[in-house]
Structure 1
Amino acid sequence: MTLRKKTLLIIAGTFYGVIILLFFISRNILLESYADLERQSTHRDVERVLAAYSQGLANLETTTADWAAWDDTYAFIAEPNEGYIRSNLTDSTFTQLGLNLMLYIDPSGQIT
């Protein structure tokens, strides 16, 4: 084998070795970076979901406290009647409150 071939083989081997080394190093660095970014993104998404849930729950608590204090609602739970339903449980009520369902539960735990 000539000196020229030996030199080319050494240079080519070194070149390929450096390329492979750079590939594995950059791969590990990039994978860690993307994993960190994904964790941060997931954490932010979870925080947004929790904030939205908390806001919805707070709104529901406010509405529930408001409706529970009405004398009409108290009377309806004690003795259900159509007049209360016609005047208070309209489609617009559900739309404005963002509700699909409204349950009235009496002190004994029965749904009215």
Structure 2
Amino acid sequence: MLSDERYQFVVSQIEGMALDALWLYMEDESATYDGRKRAFLSTLERMLNEKMIVAAKGGEALEIPSSEIALLFEKSFPQTEADMDGGVWFFTETCPAGIGWCRADGGIDWV
């Protein structure tokens, strides 16, 4: 959904941050909540595919394909933007996963 240039910009701005930062950047991608969700999901999946980040829940990495992780998010997303609570939803139990940023040395910086 994002152009390569926009994707690279967003990733450079949110590196090391939690998913709420990605969500906030998606505000510029669509005027609607559904459009913003689509942009978020496609960007999340691309970041996972590129091994830039890993998804985890309860201290365990999710060992499933990126497309399935994106689907978990799609199914779990709050019904309205108000329910997203400015991105606080990403830190609740109903959010399917958090992320860690993959380092060049093979380590993961969990956020």
Q: TM-score, normalised by structure 1?
A: 0.26
Higher helix fraction (1 or 2): 1
Higher strand fraction (1 or 2): 2
Q: TM-score, normalised by structure 2?
A: 0.26
Which has the higher relative contact order, 1 or 2, with Cα contacts under 8 A spaced 6 or more apart? 2
User: Which structure has the larger Rg?
Assistant: 1
